[in-house]
Chain A
Amino acid sequence: MVKTALEEFALLIPLLPALAFVITFFFGRKMPSGGAIVPILAIATSFVISLIITLRLLANPSEVISQSYSWFAVLNIGILIDPLAAVMLSMVSFVSLLIHIYAVSYMSGDPGESRYFAETALFTAAMLSLALSDNILQLFVSWELVGLCSYLLIGFWYERPSAAAAAKKAFLTTRVGDVMFLTGIIVLTSDLLKLAGGFSDGTYLLRFDEIFSYIPQLSTLQANIFGFEVSHLTIITLLFFGGAIGKSGQFPLHVWLPDAMEGPTTVSALIHAATMVTAGVYLVTRTFPMFIAAPDSLMVVAYLGGFTALFAGTMGIVMNDLKRVLAYSTIGQLGYMMLGLGLGSAIGLEAVGISIFHLVNHAFFKALLFLCAGSVIHAVGTQDMRELGGVGKVMPITAVTMTVAALALAGFGIPGTSIGTSGFMSKDPIIEAAYLFGEHSSNWIPYIFSIAAALLTSIYIFRLIFMTFTGEPRSNYHGHESPAIMTIPLSILALFALAFGSLTRTGFMNFLEETFANSFVNLDIGDLAGIGGNKLVEAAGHEPLFVLWLPLLVAVVGLAISFVIYYLRIIKLGSLASMKNPVYRLLYKRYYQHEIYTEFFSLGIVYGIIAFLSQVFDVIIDSIVEGIGILTVGVSEELRRVQTGVIQTYATGVIVGVSLLIILIKLILEVL
């Protein structure tokens, strides 16, 4: 009995925040603090339901909640809560709840307060419905809704031209990925229809279990692209991954993420931790059986993820804006998650475990980092690290929680034990998996990427800590510690960033590995990997000692470098960190991405072509339209002579006409 009741409540998880959106949007202005209480209560309820469902699933992982309703002939809408979805739901609703509580204070006094809370509620609802979609089409709809909300929220202060531009950039950049995702769905649908032999009512064609059951047949379909024989499965998964690249800010579609800092800091926290960017990782995880069965797809995921992690790190170390450093660290950590998934070609299902584990841990410490940054910005009024310094004295709680988050991001912990921050518990398995992968396939590039990225991560995050919280103030500011409503969410998140990883480590990963073996889908990942030509490693856990200690060593080295340069200030960077140094200039200008993407590609090529085409079309369409006009005028100029205005002429016309008609009828009747 309890179980059926629970299944009915499952629907409420996305519906309550959606309802809160409607209420806050229309009536929030009349409520105290913009009606923030409505979304907070709704999301709190969603969190409680998600948590209960997660705990029940934890006890019995194969009893997933699945409800589907037919929609059009062969489609369906429905919800699916398996271990993967349950973890996402709990994490999203929890982090979103804390951010909402924090935002009550952070956004107070803003004229658009109720609009803010309405939009974040919709954002959360979209993300929750994305997580519990049981078919790819519904996931895509939620995916687009998430994109819309990010546009609205990044451009929240739309009076500022830079915020409006950032919102537009985020929307257009992710759109490139979305188009690829949609193309993937279309290719998949047409293939499935072909394989299923046309429409047959009642089959839920795009539901995940149905899709997965066609994987062996899909992998046999071959297409010829530019002379290469490519499996349809590879095309579809790479197109899906294209969508994930856009949403999850992977190279080369990561450019929108740093600019997304134009929104309120709480929005950044929401986008970077709980919603939006995790959607891409979630998509790849959700369709992981397809990825592992497709040759080469996971390779692309691994390389791109590893490269992104390193690439973001190099830019992170030169940024001076507090939030931009965090933005690049998000890109880097997402790169790690993608790398973890990509390593599935060697470690199989374990990849899902470590990647989603890192996603959840990252959500905690990244939300914490952003909320701390928000606390600093709120109190001090600037986010340029060169103007800060010594903030730790006036904001002790923020300083401590942010240091905890930094330790988690850099991945501090003692290998071989369960002592360590959350980041350590999930990042190290990814790096170790990269080592295993290297050993397995003699391909060390992902491992080298991940180690180098770990070093850079450690350097830039401690650079941020030392520049912001220690030393003497470098400008006149009047700071004060934030109110309790802001520091309490910080403390809770700090606790999670510190302890969540070590407490849940093994259970969490085992739980997630149940995702593809339960009452909804039952897949043998080993077989699927065989289809894709991926050989899985048989036994794990015999890495040499230095592999276990290297990530920590690298993190400590990074900390030491930052300590020497930015705390002790023994080494003066002087000429090295000036615009005269070409390497520094390249990094500071962010590899000239703005010049390449916006000015050269967008404005130069795309805009140029469109402007040219529009002129051509203008000429063609104009001449058609004007030709019709001239013709009409000319004809009527002649025809108007018929209208003399003399009634007698008209009368003559009528009589002649009637007479002719009578004669005609008479003749016809005679003939007949």
Chain B
Amino acid sequence: MIPLNFYLGLAALLFSIGLYGVMTHKNGIRMIMCIELMLNSANLNLVAFSSYTNTLDGQVFAIFSIALAAAEAAVGFAILMAIYRMHDKINLDELKILRW
């Protein structure tokens, strides 16, 4: 059996990679993928703790979370598609139509 700390370490690594991506990239697709990465690191945590405590609650939460992530990704990509049609690029820095 792999100890819990390994799962948590992996999840922390994934989360940091995702965070780094969100903070540094300007491409919308990449940022959404990084957010997915951060979400999934949280899912990994949930599942790890679930198996560690021998309960199913965490795995149920993880399934909900995956469903939400799918919906979120669908909405996010749809917005990015619409933006791409308008501007021919998806560089989020240059999107300031809602700013002052």
Is chain B a partner of chain A in the same complex? yes
Q: Are B24 and A648 in contact (CB under 8 A)?
A: yes
A651 to B18 alpha-carbon distance, docked (Å): 13
Specify which chain B residues have a CB less than 8 angstroms from the CB of A655 in the assembled complex. Answer: 19, 23
A656 nearest in chain B by CB position: B23
A interface SS class: helix
Specify which chain B residues have a CB less than 8 angstroms from the CB of A59 in the assembled complex. Answer: none
Q: Are A651 and B93 in contact (CB under 8 A)?
A: no
Specify which chain B residues have a CB less than 8 angstroms from the CB of A652 in the assembled complex. Answer: 23
Q: Is A227 part of the contact surface with B, judged by Cβ < 8 Å?
A: no
Q: Is B87 part of the contact surface with A, judged by Cβ < 8 Å?
A: no
Specify which chain A residues have a CB less than 8 angstroms from the CB of B12 in the assembled complex. Answer: none
A649 nearest in chain B by CB position: B23
Q: Are B22 and A648 in contact (CB under 8 A)?
A: yes
Against B, the Cβ 8 Å flags (1 = close, 0 = not) of A643-672 are: 001101001100100000000000000000
Q: Is B99 part of the contact surface with A, judged by Cβ < 8 Å?
A: yes
Chain A proximity of B80: nearest CB distance (Å) = 16
Q: Are B93 and A646 in contact (CB under 8 A)?
A: yes
Chain A proximity of B56: nearest CB distance (Å) = 30
A655 to B23 alpha-carbon distance, docked (Å): 10
Specify which chain B residues have a CB less than 8 angstroms from the CB of A645 in the assembled complex. Answer: 99
Against A, the Cβ 8 Å flags (1 = close, 0 = not) of B13-55 are: 0000001001110100000000000000000000000000000
Within 8 A of B (CB), among A606-655: 645-646, 648, 651-652, 655
Specify which chain A residues have a CB less than 8 angstroms from the CB of B26 in the assembled complex. Answer: 648
A94 to B19 alpha-carbon distance, docked (Å): 95
Specify which chain B residues have a CB less than 8 angstroms from the CB of A648 in the assembled complex. Answer: 22-24, 26
Question: Interface residues of B toward A: which range?
Answer: under 10
Against B, the Cβ 8 Å flags (1 = close, 0 = not) of A519-530 are: 000000000000
B interface SS class: helix
- Chain B CB count within 10 A is highest, among A645, A648, A651, for A648
Chain A proximity of B32: nearest CB distance (Å) = 14
With an 8 Å Cβ cutoff, the count of chain A residues facing the other chain is 6
B100 nearest in chain A by CB position: A645
Q: Are A651 and B99 in contact (CB under 8 A)?
A: no
A616 to B22 alpha-carbon distance, docked (Å): 60
Specify which chain B residues have a CB less than 8 angstroms from the CB of A646 in the assembled complex. Answer: 93
A645 to B92 alpha-carbon distance, docked (Å): 12
Chain A proximity of B40: nearest CB distance (Å) = 18
Chain B proximity of A305: nearest CB distance (Å) = 78
Against B, the Cβ 8 Å flags (1 = close, 0 = not) of A202-235 are: 0000000000000000000000000000000000
A652 to B22 alpha-carbon distance, docked (Å): 9
Specify which chain A residues have a CB less than 8 angstroms from the CB of B93 in the assembled complex. Answer: 646
A646 to B22 alpha-carbon distance, docked (Å): 12
A648 nearest in chain B by CB position: B23
Chain B proximity of A245: nearest CB distance (Å) = 69
Within 8 A of B (CB), among A516-573: none
Chain B proximity of A647: nearest CB distance (Å) = 8
Against B, the Cβ 8 Å flags (1 = close, 0 = not) of A80-120 are: 00000000000000000000000000000000000000000
A652 to B23 alpha-carbon distance, docked (Å): 6
A655 nearest in chain B by CB position: B19
Chain A proximity of B21: nearest CB distance (Å) = 10
Chain B proximity of A648: nearest CB distance (Å) = 5
B99 nearest in chain A by CB position: A645
B24 nearest in chain A by CB position: A648
Within 8 A of B (CB), among A487-515: none
A655 to B93 alpha-carbon distance, docked (Å): 20
Specify which chain A residues have a CB less than 8 angstroms from the CB of B23 in the assembled complex. Answer: 648, 651-652, 655
Specify which chain A residues have a CB less than 8 angstroms from the CB of B24 in the assembled complex. Answer: 648
11 CB-based A-B contacts, threshold 8 Å: A645-B99, A646-B93, A648-B22, A648-B23, A648-B24, A648-B26, A651-B22, A651-B23, A652-B23, A655-B19, A655-B23
A646 nearest in chain B by CB position: B93
A645 nearest in chain B by CB position: B99
Chain A proximity of B88: nearest CB distance (Å) = 22
Against B, the Cβ 8 Å flags (1 = close, 0 = not) of A439-457 are: 0000000000000000000
Chain B proximity of A645: nearest CB distance (Å) = 7
Specify which chain A residues have a CB less than 8 angstroms from the CB of B22 in the assembled complex. Answer: 648, 651
A651 to B24 alpha-carbon distance, docked (Å): 11
Chain A proximity of B7: nearest CB distance (Å) = 20
A346 to B24 alpha-carbon distance, docked (Å): 105
Chain A proximity of B17: nearest CB distance (Å) = 14
Chain B proximity of A271: nearest CB distance (Å) = 67
Chain A proximity of B9: nearest CB distance (Å) = 17
B19 nearest in chain A by CB position: A655
Within 8 A of A (CB), among B63-89: none
A655 to B24 alpha-carbon distance, docked (Å): 13
A648 to B26 alpha-carbon distance, docked (Å): 9
A645 to B19 alpha-carbon distance, docked (Å): 19
B31 nearest in chain A by CB position: A648
A652 nearest in chain B by CB position: B23
Within 8 A of B (CB), among A117-144: none
A462 to B58 alpha-carbon distance, docked (Å): 117
Chain A proximity of B96: nearest CB distance (Å) = 8
A648 to B22 alpha-carbon distance, docked (Å): 7
Against B, the Cβ 8 Å flags (1 = close, 0 = not) of A58-85 are: 0000000000000000000000000000
Chain B proximity of A650: nearest CB distance (Å) = 10
A646 to B91 alpha-carbon distance, docked (Å): 12
